[in-house]
Amino acid sequence: LQTLDSLSLLSLHFFLSLCLVCPGTENKLSTLSDLDQQYRTLKKLYENCEVVMGNLEITSIDRNRNLSFLKSIREVTGYVLVALNQFDHLPLENLRIIRGTKLYEGRYALAIFLNYRRDGYYGLRQLGLRSLTVKMFILRGRIYLCLTAGSPLPVRLTLLKSPV
Ligand SMILES: *[C@@H]1O[C@H](CO)[C@@H](O)[C@H](O)[C@H]1NC(C)=O
């Protein structure tokens, strides 16, 4: 037992020292009134972040924002919520694991909805969840995907339920 303890302690230390960990949020759909502030907050939270300890919530981000900093994210321990945005590409291409230790609305590990542009044009066209097509583990919870009608569907979800 003692060996086991020190082993898990070691792996925890390893995990912490190797990964850039950041806290998530639990704001759901409530947003700051200022769109600039909303974007700056998102960037500040997740720039250089690899593991989100909590929920990754991307809401009320307008068009033409540079979201490339989201590429660093590899894992989210809670849920992922993408809603009320107007950008057309979401570069979460390195996200591999959503643990779902917390679920959106008590049910969803991944919830993507109402990403329209104000001019009625397509909203989110490209999810950029490249890892989703390769190997994506959602360890708990369901998925709610609601993309804009008429949008060429770039998303092919290959989901593997893993008991890990
Ligand atoms: C977005 O930001 C990254 C660095 O954060 C930069 O390398 C890239 O050129 C930017 N892209 C655009 C379109 O501005």
**What DSSP state is assigned to residue 22?**
E
Whole-number Å distance, alpha carbon 48 to ligand 1 midpoint, is: 14
Q: For the chain, where are the E strands, in sequence order?
A: 21-23, 51-53, 56-59, 75-76, 80-83, 97-98, 108-113, 136-138, 142-145, 159-160
Of 2-16, 28-42, 113-127, 149-163, the range with the highest mean pLDDT is 28-42
- In percent, how much of the chain has pLDDT > 90? 35
pLDDT at 153: 41
Instruction: Check residue 77 and give its pLDDT.
Output: 92
**In this predicted model, which residue has the larger pLDDT, 132 or 23?**
23
Lowest-confidence pick of 54-58, 65-69, 121-125, 146-150: 146-150
CA–CA separation, 1 and 45 (whole Å): 38
DSSP summary character for residue 89: B
Confirm or reject: Cβ of 69 under 6 Å from ligand 1.
yes
Q: Is 11 in the pocket of ligand 1 (CB under 6 A)?
A: no
Domains, the chain, with CATH or none: 2-145 (3.80.20.20)
